Amino acid sequence: MDIFEKAKKLKSLGDEYENFLNSLLNDLFKLIPDCLALNLDDSLLPIYAVSGLKTKGLLAFPYKCRGRVGYVVIGEGGILYFEDTEGNVIELK
């Protein structure tokens, strides 16, 4: 595969990633409308290394819920959690 083909493939993967991410963020907003993204730029990028959180999950997004700053975590069982910066965890959905 030459450099042009690699670039085309990468662009295609990037477009697919962006579509999935936008869909997921829209779904999150519908499920937890009372939680707000902390910073639009930061919150559009999921945190893949969730190992630093108490809540085990697939992805985490920086959010503010119930007046607290932390992460909305998509758990492996499909359950949404919020973990604040002090390690307190609540189940959202």
pLDDT tens, 4-51?
999 999 999 999 988 998 898 889 999 999 998 886 565 556 776 788
Report the alpha-carbon distance of residue 65 to residue 71 in Å, rounded: 9
Q: What is the pLDDT of residue 41?
A: 60
Name the pairing type of β-strands 57-65 and 36-37: antiparallel
| 79 CB neighbour count, 10 Å cutoff | 13
pLDDT tens digit sequence for 42-89 = 555 677 678 888 888 888 888 999 999 999 999 988 899 999 999 999
What does the pLDDT average to over 87-93?
Answer: 93
Question: 12 exposed, middle or buried (CB, 10 Å; 0-12, 13-18, 19+)?
Answer: exposed
Provide the 3-class DSSP secondary structure of residue 55.
Answer: coil
d(CA 9, CA 29): 30
Distance CA 89, CA 37 (A): 17
Q: Is the pLDDT of residue 1 over 90?
A: no
